[in-house]
Amino acid sequence: MKLCIIGPDKRSQGEIDLMELAKKEFDSVLYAPIEMIRIETCKETAAPFFKNINLLDFDVIFPRISKRNADFGYVLLKIFEQHKILSPLSSESLLYGYNEFLLPFSLNNNKIQTPRTYLSMSRTAIEKSIDTMIYPAILKLPYSKTGTIVLDSAESAKGVVDTLETLNQPITLQETFKDATAISVLVIGNNTYAVKGKNSRYKLTTEERNTIMSVTQLLKATICQINLLKANDKAMVVGFNIKPKIHFYGDIYDINLLDKCLSYLGQRTTIKDENPIFNKFLEWLHDMRWKSHE
């Protein structure tokens, strides 16, 4: 089995560890910096290359793509999907994972609860919502590379929105709750590793786990992070991360979760290669599941 890890030119310690562990699970491992990949199109087909290596020759692609490279990464994943190459992420997951408004819009369309979210192209358009929102709230820029801003009142929201309007980007505001609990969940296949706050293990309820699995199935992501906000015994989805800090969860659970990721991908590859008919059935079952929600 051949694995290609696609990530940044400057590797993090996580990516270095991933490379070393992958050599135990796969026969051949390549790290391809996304900045060094080119796509060639010819006769209605497209192929990605790293140097003179055709990446379509690999059995598994493990993308570690940042927000800065999301557009190019989307095209790459689309090509791999067309050629039925296994990846823990889909092009949809990349599209929604890095857009702060498309994600809640898509989740709500599929009856997955998120906090009330507002989108506008200008301060003037969103002004009435600012006065009636529940605070604290979170301000996000859908296409920004930066983080979020927590707003504690309508006055602070108006001041920040006035400043940010000059960036000419859509503005996204999302309500939150003063006493809410933040829960982040690493997903590896059907396994979940939940953390409450910054460093406490958390046991998901059956309903919370079902919510997590619904998100992964909708976005076709099998290794990812999902963020929840829990208030009044109700959990809502507030974020989706396609490049989770796997070491963080491994340290809290005292498990080598990078190894778990690679083992999962190796098993999926074996099933895909040895049971192509069963794999087709699973794809059909997945499609039918989501059509039933439309």
pLDDT value at position 162? 76
Q: Look up residue 198 and give its two tokens.
A: 């910054």
pLDDT value at position 96? 86
Low-confidence ranges of the chain (pLDDT < 70): 141-147, 164-169, 271-294
pTM of the model: 0.85
Q: Is 237 exposed, middle or buried (0-12, 13-18, 19+ CB in 10 A)?
A: buried
pLDDT value at position 272? 58
- Whether 2-87 and 116-175 share one fold: the answer is no
Please provide the CATH number assigned to the domain covering 116-175: 3.30.1490.20
Q: Are 85 and 60 in contact (CB under 8 A)?
A: yes
pLDDT value at position 291? 43
Count of beta carbons in the 10 Å neighbourhood of residue 137: 24
According to CATH, the superfamily of the domain at 104-113+181-255 is ATP-grasp fold, B domain (3.30.470.20)
Q: Are 173 and 126 in contact (CB under 8 A)?
A: yes
Report strand pairing: 28-33 vs 2-7.
Answer: parallel
pLDDT value at position 292? 39
Q: What is the DSSP string of 144-209?
A: -SS--EEE-SHHHHHHHHHHHGGG---EEEEE--TTPEEEEEEEETTEEEEEETTTEEE---HHHH
pLDDT value at position 186? 97
Q: Is 216 exposed, middle or buried (0-12, 13-18, 19+ CB in 10 A)?
A: buried
Model pLDDT for residues 1-20, shown as the tens digit of each residue: 899 999 999 998 889 999 99
pLDDT value at position 217? 94
DSSP 243: S
Looking at CATH, the fold of the domain delimited by 2-87 is given as Rossmann fold (3.40.50)
User: What is residue 219's three-state secondary structure?
Assistant: helix
Domain boundaries, the chain: 2-87, 104-113+181-255, 116-175
Handedness of CA 23, 26, 27, 28 (dihedral sign): negative
pLDDT value at position 230? 92
Euclidean distance between CA atoms 19 and 21, whole angstroms = 6
Q: Which ranges in the chain belong to alpha helices (H)?
A: 13-25, 70-82, 91-97, 102-109, 123-132, 154-164, 206-219, 246-253, 257-274, 276-291
